[in-house]
Amino acid sequence: MVCRIWDDISEQYVDSNLLLGNGFSRNISERFGYASLFDKAFDVDCLQNERIKSLSRSFDNTHQFEELLETLHVAGLVNTALNSGTPLYDSDYDFIRTSLANAVRAVHPTYDSVQRILLAIGQELKKYSNVYTTNYDLLIYWAITSVANYQNYFCDYFWSDGVSFDPFNTDVWGRKTKLIYLHGALHLLGVIRGF
C-alpha cells in the first residue's frame, strides 16, 4: 500500500463526501481514544454500575460505547417482543449514553488549546459536499465556526425553531457543505451541559 500525503491528493476529492471518525479527533487529542474515554467514564462517576462493567467484560472488555448501547437496545427489543419487560435496559442505556457525554466533556480540549488548527480544518471541510461524522466532540463545530461567514458555507440541519432538526425542513439552498452526525448530535448535549 502506498501512503500518500493528503495535500497531494485532496484536490481530487473536492465536492465529494468525507467521513470523519474517531481518528480525526484523536489526531487533535489522544484523549479521544476509545480506551481513554472508557477509562474516563469510570473515573468521572458514570460507569460504576456493576451491570455495565459486566456487560463490557462479556464483550472482551470492549471500550466501544456504541457496541454496548446497541446490545442494550436489542436486548430491550427482544424482551419487549417476548413480553418480558425491560426493567433495566432503558435505564442502563441512558446511563451509558450519559457516561459517554460526561467522558467526552471531561477529556475535551479547550478551544484555546486547539484554536490554531481550527481554521485550517474549517477551510478544508468547505471543499466537500457532505461531511459525515461519527464523532461526539465539538471540534468540527469549532472548525466550521472559525471560518468567516461560516453560515454561507456550512449547514447542519439544526435551523428550525429551538435550534432543532425538522425532518420536513431539509432543503439546502446553494452550495453548502452539509454536516451529518451519524450517531446523532450528542455533542449538543455537551453544549447544553456546558462544554
- Enclosing domain of residue 55: 35-107
Look up residue 194 and give its three cell numbers: 456546558
Identify the CA nearest to 192 among candidates 111, 98, 109, 124.
98
- Tell me: do 155 and 186 sit in the same domain: yes
Give the confidence band of 3 by pLDDT, cuts at 50, 70, 90.
Answer: low
Give the mean pLDDT of 65-81. Answer: 80
Q: What is the mean pLDDT of the chain?
A: 78
Does residue 1 lie in a domain region? Answer: no
Give the mean pLDDT of 151-171. Answer: 81
Does residue 6 lie in a domain region? Answer: no
Residue where one domain finishes, among candidates 107, 131, 162 = 107
Residue with cell 456487560: 55
Identify the CA nearest to 186 among candidates 109, 107, 103, 130.
103
